[in-house]
Amino acid sequence: MGQDELYREAAGSYGAAMERLAGAYEARADRRSDLVQEIHIALWRSFAGFDGRCSLRTWVYRVAHNAATSYVMRQRRNNAPLVTLEDLDTPSNGVSAEVSVDRARALERLLALIQRLKPLDRQVILSYLEGMDAVAIGEITGISAGNAAIKIHRIKQILTRQFHQGGRHGE
């Protein structure tokens, strides 16, 4: 497949995921479409060098995360410091659990949590939320599957506390 065909397939299969990913990297709605376009341009350009060494999904997510990280590094001035999962994984972070929250508020809270994270932890939690397992997350991010599994475990604990629900997700 050529560059254009690969891009069309990626945009068709992962277009919605790219929108969600952009929302996790750019809180301001008016700038989000710039990031989405930047990701799509990076994707299209990247397919000139796609050689099938990894799956299309891994390629798409790597390019999207790398483009978004590059965007954050350029934009990030005078903002609040980013934190790690370990920083969030403490009972004293001031977030109170609620038995039920409506979906809009829940999504808002989830986005706020993700947007506070450092790039690597943000990549892991986004991959997890997109339904990926530890091996796939390792391929995209570059950390070992074991390390990814540990991070997923921590993410589940954080999300459980924040959303007050039982964990269940397959890895």
Partner 1 sequence: MANEYSSDDPIEIWQSQPVEPITMSMAEIRSKAVKFEGQIRSRNYRETMVAIVMIPIFLLFAHFFTSPLSRAGAYLIVAGLLLVIYQMNVKAAPRRVPEDNGLQNCVAFHRRELERQRDLLRSIALWYLGPLIPGIVLFSIAVIAPKIRPDHPADWWRALPALVIAAAWFWFTIRLNRRAADHLQRTIDELDRIAGE
Q: Are 128 and 155 in contact (CB under 8 A)?
A: yes
> CB-wise, 90 or 104, nearer to partner 1?
104
CB 75 within 8 Å of CB 141? no
Which residue, 19 or 92, is less far from partner 1 as judged by CB?
A: 19
Residues 39-68 binding partner 1 (CB under 8 A) are 40-42, 44-50, 53-54, 59-60, 62-63, 65-67
Transcribe 81-147 into DSSP letters: PPB-HHHHSSGGG-PPP-S---HHHHHHHHHHHHHTB-HHHHHHHHHHHTT--HHHHHHHHSS-HHH
Binders in 100-129 for partner 1, by CB under 8 A? 100-101, 103, 106-107, 110, 119-120, 123, 128-129
Site map (CB under 8 A) of partner 1, residues 135-154, x = contact: ----xxxxxx-xx-------
Given a contact cutoff of 8 angstroms between Cβ atoms, the answer to whether 6 and 56 are in contact is yes
Q: Which of 49, 45, 23, 48 is nearest to 34 (CA)?
A: 23
Among 23, 26, 88, 152, binds partner 1 (CB under 8 A): 23
- State which residue, 52 or 91, has the beta carbon closest to partner 1: 52
Rg of the Cα atoms in the chain: 16
Q: Count CA atoms closer than 13 A to 158's CA, side-chain side.
A: 24
Does 35 interact with partner 1 (rule: CB under 8 A)? no
Q: Applying CB under 8 A, what is the total number of residues that bind partner 1?
A: 66
List interacting residues with partner 1 (CB under 8 A): 4, 7-8, 11, 15-16, 18-20, 23, 33, 36-38, 40-42, 44-50, 53-54, 59-60, 62-63, 65-67, 69-70, 73-74, 100-101, 103, 106-107, 110, 119-120, 123, 128-131, 133, 139-144, 146-147, 159, 163, 165, 168-171
